[in-house]
Structure 1
Amino acid sequence: MDRKNVLEVKDLHVSFHTYNGEVQAVRGVSFEVKNGETVAIVGESGCGKSVTSQSIMRLIPQPPGVIKHGEILFEGNDLTKLPEKKMEEMRGKEIAMIFQDPMTSLNPTMTVGKQIMEGLIKHQKLGKAEARQKALEMLRLVGIPSPDSRINQYPHQFSGGMRQRAMIAIALSCAPKLLIADEPTTALDVTIQAQILHLMNDLKEKMDTSIILITHDLGVVAETADRVVVMYAGKVVETGTVEEIFYKPRHPYTWGLMGSMPRLNLSRDTELSPILGTPPNLLTPPKGCPFASRCEHAMQVCKEHMPETTNSSDSHQVACWLEHPMAKPVDIPHDVVGGVSK
């Protein structure tokens, strides 16, 4: 049975006006998220992942930021056109976000329990006693021990992993239809990271929540995602299922990401292959493919014209001139295929 789209981002353009000029942070991004699906957005720092996710929540500070063009359709409603009061009602209730650093996202002057109760009282109109009971349930659900005492503690009394669990409890307290997780495991050690990923997968199944996972860690992607959106220099260069991205990647940038990732199937003597060069300056983005200056397969047309997005399969799209029928065939490097499995 086909699942419906919860979210559709169509040709999104987001810029920031600075003293040096206009930074074109997001340049025509399009993707969709289906009901009960996890979509990972991956790419280097500065590629536009977080700006895209914050634009969905309408958290871009305006000014200096501005959504210049495009649609963000959540269950058919264009979020870019909603008044701020309506967006305030939706944040936390319909769409929630787990931020990268829980220590700076949690309020240090409020107990963790009160921060969970806040959304329940505002969005679900619960009384204090009822909201406290629900907050206790959420703390238990996310695996925080001794919730009866922890509910009265402050964020500084929690460990890093417990703070992240508390953030997840706040985000999921009102059972949102869409959860945006922006680098939710970056500051955590691998054991706690595995627990958080398992928790997010488990809660997705229980609550039928759709998830957008923002990350640069391809191991996390393999563990949790259903589909992958690869971004570079504010544009989507490749999208596909996890299997397609890991085993049949088509874009040289995706090959670079895979080749620079440590994997268990590589011998100890194998050197990782970094992506040489630096991303383009988005004050003056290139008129052609943004990856052309770092791509060993770049042709003259790559530098002069932006490639169109072509379908490698029904679920796999690539924006690369190597996909053109007249381009010389290039084999996928054997050392970038696979290596991480779900």
Structure 2
Amino acid sequence: MEKNNVLEVNDLHVSFKTYNGEVQAVRGVSFEVKKGETVAIVGESGCGKSVTSQSIMRLIPQPPGFFKKGKILFEEKDLTRLTENQMERIRGKDIAMIFQDPMTSLNPTMTVGRQIMEGLVKHQRLGKAEAKKRALDMLHLVGIPSPRSRINQYPHQFSGGMRQRAMIAIALACAPKLLIADEPTTALDVTIQAQILDLMNDLKEKLETSIILITHDLGVVAETADRVVVMYAGKVVETGTVEEIFNHPRHPYTWGLMGSMPRLDLSRDKDLAPILGTPPNLLSPPKGCPFAGRCKHAMKICKEEMPETTDASGSHQVACWLEHPMAPAVQAPYKLVGGGFQ
């Protein structure tokens, strides 16, 4: 494990046993997160983003889920091999998570202040008075107005944006080394979304916390991330810096994601360019490239063999047969120009 890496995921395979067979949700995912870095994992629903993040936290119920292969290295410890008691000492203290829906993730029977204090008492052995003082500091840090009165309120008394801020306060209370944010701005209006993203960027700089951002919104990625991991059908198809992915995307699936983004500079009668077709069934995933069935550039070999990952640059990797020297030259249809894709 490289010294500068906080986390390394190596060839991770996660499956679920069902009555119909084995669902291969994550199939050979590899990436790393450096100290103080934000890595965005993007892709459409069902591509394996949330399963990957929950695997890092060891929140996959076993059974039906199980780790089939691979390693998740955090501070040179393989998280897949730790006992639940060992994970309890890491979860919330060194690795924390902001879940998709704060209304269902927060405990409705406990005050927000008590939920923040819980981790401080458990992991940092603080007394009740000191934990409450820290909880007030966290509410103030995440921008909750009137924290002294809000600390004794319940989640239903908070607005959607305030609940999301409370979730961030709970996750950051113990100053974790790694924060996993799973769709942190879903269902929030654009004003609150911008505030949450600014807050996460500020906290990353103040606390030097590394962040894994799970999202399908490329606008959020452009605003916050340093590097991007593009997932499709349980596999990583492209990875690179934000500049490389946005300005020089190389995988047809990445092109499709960019083409389906709404743009303010297009006329109203101009339709979006959706990715036609549906993702493959992961009960019996294809032996070749998983995107071949929806790719207009697919060749015969795409359906027969999975492409190897090749280096487009030192930090930009692509798993696509179009990268082969014998493949026909195909020009990327989209690139970032003046804040929009052209």
Residue in structure 2 matched with residue 175 of structure 1 by the alignment:
175
Q: Which amino acid aligns with 1:107?
A: N
CA–CA separation in structure 1 for the residues paired with 2:87 and 2:263:
42
Amino acid paired to 1:211: I
Q: What is the 5 A alignment of 1:103-122? A: 103-122=103-122
Within 1, Cα distance between the matches of 2:113 and 2:100? Answer: 20
Q: Secondary structure at the match of 2:312?
A: strand
Find the counterpart in structure 2 of residue 330 from structure 1: 330
Question: Quick one: distance in 2 between partners of 1:307 and 1:267?
Answer: 38
**Which residue of structure 2 aligns with residue 163 of structure 1?**
163
Amino acid across the alignment from 2:193: Q
Aligned residues: 339
C-alpha offsets along residues 176-201 of structure 1, whole Å, 9 cap, x if unaligned? Answer: 00000000001101100000000000
1:209 aligns with 2:217: no
* 1:308/1:191 CA distance change after superposition, 3 Å: same
Amino acid at match of 1:48: G
1:147 aligns with 2:123: no
Q: Deviations over 1:249-280 (max 9, x none)?
A: 00000000000001234344432100000000
The answer to whether the aligner puts 1:28 opposite 2:34 as a matched pair is no
CA distance in 2, matches of 1:284, 1:126: 50
Taking the aligned partners of 2:67 and 2:217, their CA distance within structure 1 comes to: 28
Instruction: Answer yes or no: is the 8 Å Cα contact 2:4–2:35 preserved in 1.
Output: yes
**Structure 1 residue aligned with 2:236:** 236
Amino acid in the other structure paired with 1:220: V
d(CA) in 1 for partners of 2:3 and 2:197? Answer: 23
Structure 2: which 5+ runs fail to align? Answer: none
- Specify the SS of the correspondent of 1:313: coil
Residue in 1 aligned with 2:137?
137
Q: RMSD across aligned C-alpha pairs, in angstroms?
A: 1.2
Identity %: 83
Cα distance in 2 for residues equivalent to 1:79 and 1:231: 22
Query: 2:39–2:226: 8 Å Cα contact kept in structure 1?
Result: yes
Q: Secondary structure of the equivalent of 1:220? A: helix
Residues in 1 aligned to 2:73 and 2:28: alpha-carbon distance in whole angstroms: 15
Residues 113, 107 of structure 1: alpha-carbon distance in 2 compared, 3 angstrom cutoff: same
Tell me if structure 2 keeps the 8 A contact 1:58–1:80.
yes
Structure 1 residue 167, shift from structure 2 partner: 0.3
Q: What whole-Å deviation, never above 9, does each CA across 1:38-67 have from its counterpart, x for those lacking one?
A: 000000100000000000000000000001
Q: Alignment partner of 1:55: what SS?
A: helix
CA distance in 2, matches of 1:103, 1:264: 31
| SS of match in other structure, 1:60 | coil
* Mapped partners of 1:258, 1:104: distance in 2: 31
Q: Which amino acid aligns with 1:313?
A: S
Determine the C-alpha separation between the residues in 1 that align with 2:194 and 2:3. 28
Residue 9 of structure 2 corresponds to 9
Q: Deviations over 1:127-184 (max 9, x none)?
A: 0000000000000000000000000000000000000000000000000000000000
- Please tell me whether the aligned partners of residues 176 and 209 of structure 1 are also in contact (alpha carbons under 8 angstroms): yes
Q: What is the CA–CA distance in structure 2 between the aligned matches of 1:188 and 1:262, rounded to whole Å? A: 17
* Matching residue's letter, 2:241: T
Structure 1, unaligned runs of 5 or more: none
Is the 2:13–2:70 Cα contact (8 Å) retained in structure 1?
Answer: yes
Using the TM superposition, give the Cα deviation of residue 338 of structure 1 relative to its aligned residue in structure 2, in angstroms: 4.2
Structure 2 distance, partners of 1:237, 1:198, is: 29
Please tell me whether the aligned partners of residues 13 and 28 of structure 1 are also in contact (alpha carbons under 8 angstroms): yes
| 3-state secondary structure, aligned to 2:11 | strand
Residues 208-242 of structure 1: CA deviation (Å, up to 9, x unaligned): 00000000000000000000000000000000001
- 2:223 is aligned to 223
CA distance in 1, matches of 2:309, 2:250: 12
Distance 2:10 2:3 in 1: 19
2-structure distance, mates of 1:3, 1:160: 39
The Cα of 1:337 is off from its aligned counterpart by 3.9
